[in-house]
Amino acid sequence: MKQLLVTVIIAASACIGCSPKMSPDFGWDKVRWLVVEIKEVPVQLSGTNRDAFLDFSIPEKKFNGNGGCNRINGDYTIDKNHIHFTGISSTKMNCPDIAFENTFLSLLEKVNKYEVRNNTMLLKDDNKVLVMLKVK
């Protein structure tokens, strides 16, 4: 009986690190992250599906969203306060706001840190805020 109890405790301890609550991106897949600032300049929001946003799929470590014109997607890696977006791709429609989208996508490639406070996410290049997102 003692050996069974020890085995259960060891197995439970090993699974503590497996908990999704331990992941720094826990809960990000429950909300939509709307882009509200680019390089500290407020983004004009239309309230339509053309507003730039990110959605996260935590188990697959993928993201998708809208760049302001086209559908975007890619992968991300995350640990503690570091995040990297890779494999970023988009559909290829041409829109009046394509310059905004191109800037947004190029900034995502530069992001290496993040910070989340309340309903705000800051995507950074070291300590410089590149993109601010808020929960929609």
Q: Supply the DSSP string of 13-64, one letter for each residue.
A: HHHHTT-GGGSTTTTGGGS-EEEEEETTEEPPP-SSTTS-EEEEETTTTEEE
* For range 74-81, the mean pLDDT: 96
> What is the percent of the chain with per-residue pLDDT over 90, rounded to a whole number?
76
Q: What is the pLDDT of residue 5?
A: 36
Q: Which structural domain range is residue 114 located in?
A: 24-135
Domain contains 29? yes
In this structure, the number of other CB atoms found within 10 A of the CB of residue 116 comes to 16
Domain contains 130? yes
User: What average pLDDT is seen over the chain?
Assistant: 87
Banded model confidence at residue 21, pLDDT cuts 50, 70, 90: low
How many domains does the chain contain in total?
A: 1
Whether pLDDT at 49 is above 90: no
Q: What is the pLDDT of residue 77?
A: 98
Domain contains 129? yes
Q: pLDDT (tens digit, 9 = 90+) per residue, 79-133?
A: 999 999 999 999 999 888 899 999 999 999 999 999 999 999 999 999 999 999 9
Q: What is the pLDDT of residue 23?
A: 86
CATH number of the domain bearing residue 128: 2.40.128.270
Q: What is the pLDDT of residue 15?
A: 43
Q: What is the pLDDT of residue 9?
A: 39
CA separation for the pair 54, 65 (Å, rounded): 4
Domain contains 19? no
Check residues 49 and 107 and name the one with the higher pLDDT. Answer: 107
* For range 36-40, the mean pLDDT: 97
Domain contains 7? no
Domain contains 32? yes
Domain contains 96? yes
